[in-house]
Amino acid sequence: MAKPHPDTKYIEALVNNNTALINEIYTRFADKITFMVTQNSGAEADAADVMQDALVAVYHKALSGNFLLSCPFEAFLYTICRNLWLMQLRKKSRQPVTNNGDVQYDKGTDIFKEAEAVINNNERRLLLEKKFDLLGEGCRKVLELAWSGKPLEEVASLLNNTYAYIRKKKSECMGRLAELIKQSPEYKTLLW
Amino acid sequence: MTDEQYHIIDQYINNQLEGEALLAFELQLQQDAELAEAVRLFTTLNNEMPAIIKNKPGGEVLKKNLQQISEPHFKNKQAPVVSLKKSKIYQIAAVAAMLIAMAGIVFWQLTKPDKVSLYAQYAGHSEIDLVSRGSIEQEALAKATEYYNNGEYATVIPLLQPILDKDSTNNQYRVILGRCYIETNNYENAFAQLNSVAASTSAYKYEAVWLTALAWLKQNKNAECINALKTIPESDDHYTEAQELLKILNDK
């Protein structure tokens, strides 16, 4: 099994919102991300947005409980940013990101696979969040409480309803959410 | 799928089905791809949504902190383009494409028996980007941008209307809302948004006039549409398509 890389400190910094170490991430890596974006049809502001999106995506992946950084953070972050920017360019139908020739960023490497996993997790999260927000308030409340780990009996009590009603309501609301997700164009493009 | 089916799926993934009911469900699962997909989705929701809901507030806090920390590291950045109008290159490409397409459209107009509405042909869909760094409404604006770019106009309205109510001088939000109201056939609200911009000296003035013309066109009120189109000056981006549309309407 792979050992955690010493740069795991940056992952922990994101999880703990450690301002000093996050600042170090920007000091060390912002220029490289900016160069990649500005060399590929983007502006510095785009680089700031891409880097922010990447760091938030890493934060969520780290908290999903299924993540181990086994490579240098620089290559990992760069690959995520590069792929995120490539996706944006595709959406805007601009030029594809040019290959900088660095073999460590190529497909098939562990870095690329780890970066892909973060991006797929992020896209899935964004889709699930977006569709969850479209549910009615009643559904959102039942599902939020049920997914917070509370037993359905307690959820029923909190919402002044019967257990049977809440159990039925929960499955119906999950059905609504599943339908919203299936109808979205992104659904078929993501790994589930 | 029915609510009853969803109820049984929920029982199945929570190991609450037993005996014959379980066997019957598992047999059905092997034969029914739609059911199998629904079971996979329910499992995914149960596995991923607890963490998504739990970590969302922390993610928002981190995002705000990142915005502050990142500021000095992107000193030369320009504000992202906040525009409903197309970029210069896009405009040139669009004009070129339009000239090529014009002959085709005229031919198609004359020959196609089951015509797509003129509105659908001319309304088009340009991507927007409403997100402005530093705006306190970033999250709602990002969602509005995404929904608009996906063509989900009805969903944009409840997101953007409250922001416009707080920032009533923002003519960009006003014309985008106007477009959303046209798409949802709420013409009264569309005109309420567009009239004030069309009467102003804003950079969005003729965007509003063009949308007003399209709103009339969508209602088959050609005379009103023609009147609006005639006011679009040669210097505006919409002039070429306005003239083309005028010709089609005048020839009817």
ipTM for the whole complex: 0.88
pLDDT, residue B15, reads 92
* Contact check, Cβ <8 Å, A175/B51: no
Q: Would you state the torsion angle of the CA atoms of residues A102, A108, A112, A113, taken in this order, to the nearest 10 degrees?
A: -170
How many other C-beta atoms can be found within 10 angstroms of the C-beta atom of residue A73? 20
- Report residue A105's pLDDT band, with 50, 70 and 90 as the boundaries: low
Give me the DSSP letters along B22-34.
Answer: HHHHHHHHHH-HH
Rg of chain B over all Cα atoms, to the nearest angstrom: 25
* Contact check, Cβ <8 Å, A129/B56: yes
Q: Find, in chain A, the residue whose alpha carbon is nearest to that of B128.
A: A92
Residues A119-124: what's their mean pLDDT? 93
pLDDT, residue B110, reads 46
Residue B19, judged by CB atoms within 10 A of its CB (0-12, 13-18, 19+), counts as: exposed
Give me the residue from A23, A43, A181 closest to B77, CB to CB: A43
pLDDT, residue B101, reads 55
| Chain B nearest C-alpha distance from A153 (Å) | 15
- Tokens standing for B199? 């009467």
Give me the residue from A46, A168, A174 closest to B42, CB to CB: A174
Give me the residue from B7, B67, B77 closest to A44, CB to CB: B77
Residues A47-53: what's their mean pLDDT? 96
Residues B236 and B85 sit within 8 Å (Cβ to Cβ)? no
How many other C-beta atoms can be found within 10 angstroms of the C-beta atom of residue A28? 13
Q: Which residues of B touch A35 (CB under 8 A)?
A: none
Q: Does A108 touch chain B (CB under 8 A)?
A: no
Which residue, among B110, B175, B231, B237, has the nearest Cα to B246 in the 3D structure?
Answer: B231
Give A53-73 pLDDT, tens digit per residue. Answer: 999 999 999 998 778 888 899
SS3 for B1? coil
Q: Does A84 touch chain B (CB under 8 A)?
A: no
| Chain B nearest C-alpha distance from A157 (Å) | 20
Residues B205 and B233 sit within 8 Å (Cβ to Cβ)? no
For residue A139, pLDDT over 90 is answered with: yes
Q: Does B49 touch chain A (CB under 8 A)?
A: yes
Total CB pairs under 8 A between chain A and B = 131
Give the largest Cα separation in chain B, rounded.
77
pLDDT, residue B83, reads 43
Give me the residue from B49, B76, B78 closest to A147, CB to CB: B49
- Regarding predicted confidence, which is higher, A184 or B113? A184
N- to C-terminal Cα distance for chain A?
A: 24
- Tokens standing for B28? 């059905």
Residues B173 and B160 sit within 8 Å (Cβ to Cβ)? yes
DSSP B77: P
Q: Which residues of B touch A48 (CB under 8 A)?
A: 70, 73-74, 77, 133
- Tokens standing for B224? 């009103």
| Chain B nearest C-alpha distance from A115 (Å) | 19
For residue A48, pLDDT over 90 is answered with: yes
* Contact check, Cβ <8 Å, A19/B9: no
Residues A139-145: what's their mean pLDDT? 96
Q: Which residues of A touch B133 (CB under 8 A)?
A: 45, 48-49
Residues B243 and B120 sit within 8 Å (Cβ to Cβ)? no
Between helices B171-183 and B138-149, what is the axis angle to 10°?
40
Which residue, among A67, A82, A46, has the nearest Cα to A121 in the 3D structure?
Answer: A67
pLDDT, residue A176, reads 95
Residues A160 and B8 sit within 8 Å (Cβ to Cβ)? no
Q: Which one of B2, B62, B130, B135 would you mutate to disrupt binding with A, by most A Cβ within 10 Å of its Cβ?
A: B62
Residues B204 and B198 sit within 8 Å (Cβ to Cβ)? no
Residues A97-102: what's their mean pLDDT? 53
Which residue, among A134, A130, A147, has the nearest Cα to B44 in the 3D structure?
Answer: A147
pLDDT digit string (tens) for chain B, length 252 residues: 899 999 999 999 999 999 999 999 999 999 999 999 999 999 999 999 999 999 999 999 999 999 999 999 987 654 444 445 445 555 555 556 655 655 554 554 444 443 457 888 788 777 787 876 556 787 888 888 888 888 888 889 999 999 888 888 888 889 999 999 999 899 999 999 999 999 888 778 888 999 999 999 999 899 999 999 999 987 777 888 888 889 888 887
Predicted TM-score (pTM) of this structure: 0.59
Measured distance CA(B102)–CA(B117) in Å, rounded: 16
Give me the DSSP letters along A47-70.
Answer: HHHHHHHHHHHHHHHHHTT-----
Residue A95, judged by CB atoms within 10 A of its CB (0-12, 13-18, 19+), counts as: exposed
Measured distance CA(A127)–CA(B49) in Å, rounded: 11
Q: What are the Cα distances from residue B43, in Å, to A72, A124, B36, B77, B186?
A: 33, 14, 11, 43, 40
* Contact check, Cβ <8 Å, B48/A64: yes
Measured distance CA(A39)–CA(A95) in Å, rounded: 11
* Contact check, Cβ <8 Å, B44/A192: yes
Q: Does A160 touch chain B (CB under 8 A)?
A: no
How many other C-beta atoms can be found within 10 angstroms of the C-beta atom of residue B219? 14
Residue B175, judged by CB atoms within 10 A of its CB (0-12, 13-18, 19+), counts as: buried
* Contact check, Cβ <8 Å, B69/A26: yes
Residues A87-108: what's their mean pLDDT? 62
